[in-house]
Amino acid sequence: MTSQMAGNQAAQQETQRATRARAQVVQAGPASPVFMLFLGLAFALLLLAMPLRAAAEEVITSHGFAEFGELKYPKGFAHFDYVNPEAPKGGELSISAVGTFDSMNPFTRQGRAGALASEHFEGLLVESYDEPGSYYGLIAESLEYPESQDWVIFNLRPEARFSDGSPVTADDVVFSHNILLDQGLQSYAEAVRKRIPKAEALGPHQVKFYFSPDYPRRAMITQVGGTPVFSKAWFEADPENRRLDEPRLDPGIGSGPYILDKAEINQRITYRRNPDYWGKDLNVNIGRHNYDAIRVEYFGDAIAAMEGFKAGIYTVRPENNSKSWATSYDFDAVANGDVIRDEIPDGNVPVANGFVMNLLRPKFQDIRVREALQLAFNFEWTNESLQYGLFRHRSSFWQDSDLEAKGLPTGRELEVLTALGDQIDPAILTSEPVMAHTSKPKRPNDRSNLRRAMALLDEAGWDVNSDGIRQNAAGEVLKIEFLLDSPTLERIVGPYVSNLQAMGIDAVLNRVDYAQYTSRRREKDFDMVTFAYPMSLEPSTELYQFFGAEAHKFSVFNPAGLADPAVDALIDNIVDAKTQEELHSNARALDRVLRAKRFMVPTWYLDVNWIAYWKQYAYPENLPPYDTGLLDLWWVDAAREAELKASGALR
């Protein structure tokens, strides 16, 4: 139903109701002039109200959804601009993973899921890579929603199928929503249950989600549109052994283009393209999903993984280690052009990397302690001595974007902050945002910064005892354990821990195995960890998970355990924003407040993606700004692959 039809129908229904009401009153009451005058006025007022009621019920029907503004691509578009619609199909993408896995269920609350385990499952909508906050129909061919966005109806494509050939129905969508609430991560379930109280199937291919009136509407539609769709029949065939919250090697069946071929525990995972994939000819899929197979090779550590790439055991390596990028690509295959080192521009907000303090621990409650811990990190020395000068120092959670707080707060941002009253430090209103401190690069311990840090610890009541260790008035030692699971980061964190020790802190670096690390992270059993907040150009409800008080004690996405009323208020404003100006002003205010909390030691960032690959791969000339497209836009050049194999460079 179009919005105009919905409005006309509502007006007709309102007229009919008014006519029936007038007839009933005439039949029941006396026909005096005063009574008839009253009746006429009442009828006129009812008629005047009709356009308002009709407008309130206006329904928008669309092939996609944009958080702000208009969709770039019209209904019936041929394909996304950033794909190669003639990309050949075939070949294999092989990548690596470091660590272990014991499950192919990506939603388990226990164990560690294998890489790309969620790729089996599709959502109702798919995100565009060249326009932030825009989504188009995938399993759903269209959606309907009122201007208030109090609810949304998705009209499913009748041809949508799971990998076993069974149809994807509205019942599957409702089941998927409910099982994520019942058996999914606690932080997700509790947040979503309050915001999305009901989902119902209106028919075999039509599903409706209702949104709570107590929460802002923005991103509600995209959240339910991105929910993975599971097969209800598959789960219900063996409910005891097919729980969403328990590890299992059978991932179940999804509707995506790839299915699991083989999972060899801690060795490799292979996915193969489903030749009967129902959506291969959809406009949103043209030029995508070009590999016949995707293989993930597992290695015990980063050194072994690098050697595996040199040997051609796997052939594409997204690089995140500066030392490796600077020094490890001097082998023959690079020199003769068989391996290409590429830097692909990244238009996304840089991931907010850093060392996070667990605010649930009493020792981190004093902001002077947190500032002292920040001052102990020497980025300049770390970058020049250990990272080959390849990184830049991060200050903002929205670094180098329009959402980054800069200078003194002005305009709407100042209004937003002022409205928070005594919930924030008044100095925030009159000061520039907290910036990452600078350090001298000649030695790992900048003495000036360490002196400032130690003075802050003195002020906070952590005095140095006769053994040179800091303790408080109760005799408690200031002990900090830095929990890691990565040997690569150990060389970065080690000098930082040494600086903490130089200040009298009983600091230790504890690298544990991957399973133990995962368990302790989930239980918030740590003092400090490394973490990366994946920030967005159009932030929304995910901020509740990252920084909100609602699930701060157990959310794995809020490792700091941050709970602050000012932060919650700003997140509410962001989610409730009706314009980009409102969004940006509130995001800048939130950035300013988060930085003032000093719960994270900001580290480094890049504005490019480092990717090394054997030359049989190719990608579109016009790659989108917000995704490298490695998994779904690249393809294998068969001639180049044959050349590599003929030369003996690859087997």
Contact 650, 315 (CB under 8 A): yes
Q: b/e map of 233-260 (b: 16 or more CB within 10 Å)?
A: ebbeeeeeebbbbbbbeebbbbbbbbbb
pTM for this one?
A: 0.80
Report the percent of the chain where pLDDT is more than 70. Answer: 91
DSSP 244-263: TTS--S-----SSSEEEEEE
pLDDT band at 13 (very low <50, low <70, confident <90, very high): very low
Lowest mean pLDDT among 10-24, 385-399, 623-637: 10-24
Roughly what angle, to the nearest 10 degrees, separates helices 33-56 and 3-28?
A: 160
Q: Please report the pLDDT score of residue 228 as a whole number.
A: 97
Unique residue bearing structure tokens 């947040």 = 191
Contact 323, 386 (CB under 8 A): yes
Please provide the average confidence, as pLDDT, over all residues in the chain. Answer: 90
User: Mean pLDDT across the stretch 14-35?
Assistant: 34
Strands 316-319 and 392-393, bridge-based pairing: unpaired
Give the whole-angstrom CA distance, residue 584 versus residue 574: 8
Lowest mean pLDDT among 10-19, 451-460, 626-635: 10-19
User: Mean pLDDT across the stretch 32-41?
Assistant: 34
Q: Please report the pLDDT score of residue 56 as a whole number.
A: 54
Q: Please report the pLDDT score of residue 163 as a whole number.
A: 97
Q: Please report the pLDDT score of residue 497 as a whole number.
A: 97
pLDDT at 46 over 70: no
Unique residue bearing structure tokens 């962001």 = 574
Q: What is the pLDDT of residues 344-355, one digit of tens each?
A: 999 999 999 999
Q: b/e map of 590-607 (b: 16 or more CB within 10 Å)?
A: bbbbbbbbbbbbbbbbbe
CB atoms within 10 A of CB 448: 11
pLDDT at 21 over 50: no
- Show the tokens assigned to 255: 């509707």
For 461, the 3-state DSSP assignment is: coil
Give the whole-angstrom CA distance, residue 36 versus residue 361: 74
Q: Please report the pLDDT score of residue 184 as a whole number.
A: 87
Sequence letter at residue 578: K
Unique residue bearing structure tokens 């390596």 = 317
Q: Please report the pLDDT score of residue 235 as a whole number.
A: 97
Q: Please report the pLDDT score of residue 68 as a whole number.
A: 87
pLDDT at 286 over 60: yes
Q: In this predicted model, which residue has the larger pLDDT, 27 or 235?
A: 235
Q: Please report the pLDDT score of residue 189 as a whole number.
A: 85
Sequence letter at residue 138: L
Size of the chain in residues: 651
Give the whole-angstrom CA distance, residue 130 versus residue 136: 12
Q: What is the pLDDT of residues 188-229, one digit of tens each?
A: 888 889 899 999 999 999 999 999 998 888 889 999 999 999
pLDDT band at 25 (very low <50, low <70, confident <90, very high): very low
pLDDT at 37 over 90: no
Conformational region of residue 238, where left means phi above 0, alpha means psi within -120 to 50, and beta covers everything else = beta
pLDDT at 47 over 60: no
Which residues contact residue 252 at a Cβ distance below 8 angstroms, ignoring those fewer than 6 apart? 105, 120, 230, 231, 234, 235, 242
Taking alpha carbons only, the member of 357, 603, 601, 354 closest to residue 481 is: 357
Unique residue bearing structure tokens 């999972």 = 263
Give the whole-angstrom CA distance, residue 330 versus residue 316: 16
Q: What is the pLDDT of residues 169-186, one digit of tens each?
A: 999 999 999 999 999 888
pLDDT band at 554 (very low <50, low <70, confident <90, very high): confident
User: Mean pLDDT across the stretch 107-114?
Assistant: 89
Contact 300, 266 (CB under 8 A): no
Which residues contact residue 293 at a Cβ distance below 8 angstroms, ignoring those fewer than 6 apart? 91, 92, 93, 261, 270, 271, 272, 273
Q: Please report the pLDDT score of residue 185 as a whole number.
A: 81
Q: What is the pLDDT of residues 241-279, one digit of tens each?
A: 999 999 999 999 999 999 999 999 999 999 999 999 999
Count of alpha carbons within 13 angstroms of residue 580, beta-carbon side? 11
Which residues contact residue 242 at a Cβ distance below 8 angstroms, ignoring those fewer than 6 apart? 234, 235, 248, 250, 252
pLDDT at 110 over 90: no
Give the whole-angstrom CA distance, residue 559 versus residue 504: 25
Q: What is the pLDDT of residues 125-146, one digit of tens each?
A: 999 999 988 999 999 999 999 9
Unique residue bearing structure tokens 């002022």 = 418
Residue 247 φ then ψ, to 5°: -70, 145
Centroid of chain to Cα 367: 28
Q: What is the pLDDT of residues 323-366, one digit of tens each?
A: 999 999 999 999 999 999 999 999 999 999 999 999 999 999 99
Q: Please report the pLDDT score of residue 599 as a whole number.
A: 98
pLDDT band at 57 (very low <50, low <70, confident <90, very high): low
Q: Please report the pLDDT score of residue 14 as a whole number.
A: 35
Taking alpha carbons only, the member of 9, 240, 11, 256 closest to residue 117 is: 256
Give the whole-angstrom CA distance, residue 547 versus residue 567: 7
Report the percent of the chain where pLDDT is more than 90. Answer: 83
Count of alpha carbons within 13 angstroms of residue 112, beta-carbon side? 18
User: Mean pLDDT across the stretch 409-423?
Assistant: 97
Q: What is the pLDDT of residues 471-491, one digit of tens each?
A: 999 999 999 999 999 888 999
**Distance separating the N- and C-terminal Cα atoms of the chain:** 57
